[in-house]
Amino acid sequence: MRKRLGFVFWVAVAYLVVLALAAVFADVLPIKDPAETFPGTSKQGPSLTHWFGNDGVGRDVFSRVIYGAQVSLVISTVGTVLALVIGGLLGMVSGYFSSRVDRWLTATLNASLVIPPLILFLALVLFLDGEAKRRIFILVFTFVLLSIAPIARVVRAATLSWAGQDFVLAARTLGARDGRVLFREILPNVAPSFVSYSLIIMAGLIVVEGSVAFLGLSVPPPTPTWGDMINKGRTNLDVAAHISLMPAIVMFVTVLALNFVGDKLQQYFEPRESVL
């Protein structure tokens, strides 16, 4: 059977690309100012001038969703990339060097999983006071902390299976050093599972960021975030549901698209491990 990614896959990819581009170029695109209040439009439903309607104080929901994407995407991308580098390295080292190193690393990583993520996050939030920059830093730091262990575990499993293969033995017989074997022989083989898994991790981080923002603990107010918009919209849920609904739909579609693309890529690269 020929491998196919399917039509829906490309739709999902296109959506993600468009969303990312919109977020990156939000400042130059012809959309409204997310902070501007349009008089007399408070709680107005979607219309031609305001595609997603207006929120409780008359701000344009569409442009706020786009600007909100900046926060979600930046934090989750930076978090995922850092976690990939650190977690990937740890996983490869742990899977390649056997016994003692492996045992210590695995034990430490397992131990790091015993504090439930959101609770750990709350404990860390106590460290931040107001300041937006520091808050973003702590957010990213926590997200990296949260995603290292799962990534390292996946990479370790993949490394273990590749390290036993004949070509690795061949490389070592030819006198290649550990570093070379790891980066030139094993990394290219492990990379696919890395990448597809990282998309799923990223989706998870968007959800965590959303939850944190929903609780009002993410980037502070003047900057729009999806979670905060959904939370603030709740007060008008009975009269103007779109204020919560629109960012919720965008967030749902984004997370769904990321999960879907990650799933499909995983199946594409490793058909056998596609069960979960």
Partner 1 sequence: MKQAVRDQLGRIVAVALLATIAWAWFWRPPFSWTFGVLVVIGTVGAGIADGRYALRRIAGVIPVLVGVSFVVFALMASLPGDPAINILGPAATADQIAIVRTELGLDEPFFNRYGNWLGGVLTGDLGTSIVLREDVADGISRSMTPTLQIMAYSVVIALGFAIPLGIWAGYRQGTKTDGTINNVMLGFLATPNFVLAVMLVLFLSIGGLSVAGNEIGFRVLPAARYVPLGEDVVLHFKHMLLPSLALAMGQAAVFMRLLRSDMIATLRLPFIDLARSKGLPTRRILWRHALRPSSFTLLTVVGLTVGLLIGGALIVEFIFTIPGVGAYIFLGVTQRDFIAVQGGVLVISTLYIVVLTMSDFLYLSLDPRLRGREVGARA
- Residues at the contact surface with partner 1, assessed by CB under 8 A: 110-111, 113-120, 122-127, 129, 203, 207, 210-211, 214-215, 217, 227, 230-231, 234, 237-238, 241, 244-245, 248, 251-252, 255-256, 259-260, 263, 275-276
The Cα 40–Cα 37 span in angstroms is: 9
**Least distance from partner 1 to the Cβ atom of residue 174, Å:** 34
> What are 202's two structure tokens?
């990223």
Closer residue to partner 1 in complex, CB, 44/259: 259
> What are 45's two structure tokens?
């439903």
**Least distance from partner 1 to the Cβ atom of residue 123, Å:** 5
**Least distance from partner 1 to the Cβ atom of residue 4, Å:** 15
Specify whether the CB–CB gap between 139 and 218 falls below 8 A: yes
Q: Please, which residues have CB within 8 angstroms of residue 114's CB and are 6 or more apart in sequence? A: none
**Least distance from partner 1 to the Cβ atom of residue 181, Å:** 26
Closer residue to partner 1 in complex, CB, 136/261: 261
Closer residue to partner 1 in complex, CB, 23/230: 230
> What are 12's two structure tokens?
């999902």
The angle that helices 7-24 and 61-96 make with each other, rounded to 10 degrees, is 110
Main-chain phi, psi angles of 54, to 5 degrees: -125, 155
Per-residue burial over 15-24, b if 16 or more Cβ lie within 10 Å, else e, is: bbeebeebbe
Q: Side-chain half-sphere of 188: how many Cα atoms within 13 Å? A: 6
Main-chain phi, psi angles of 16, to 5 degrees: -65, -40
Closer residue to partner 1 in complex, CB, 57/123: 123
Specify whether the CB–CB gap between 124 and 60 falls below 8 A: no
**Least distance from partner 1 to the Cβ atom of residue 226, Å:** 9
Closer residue to partner 1 in complex, CB, 23/205: 205
- Quote the radius of gyration of the chain (alpha carbons, Å): 22
Closer residue to partner 1 in complex, CB, 184/234: 234
Closer residue to partner 1 in complex, CB, 48/174: 48
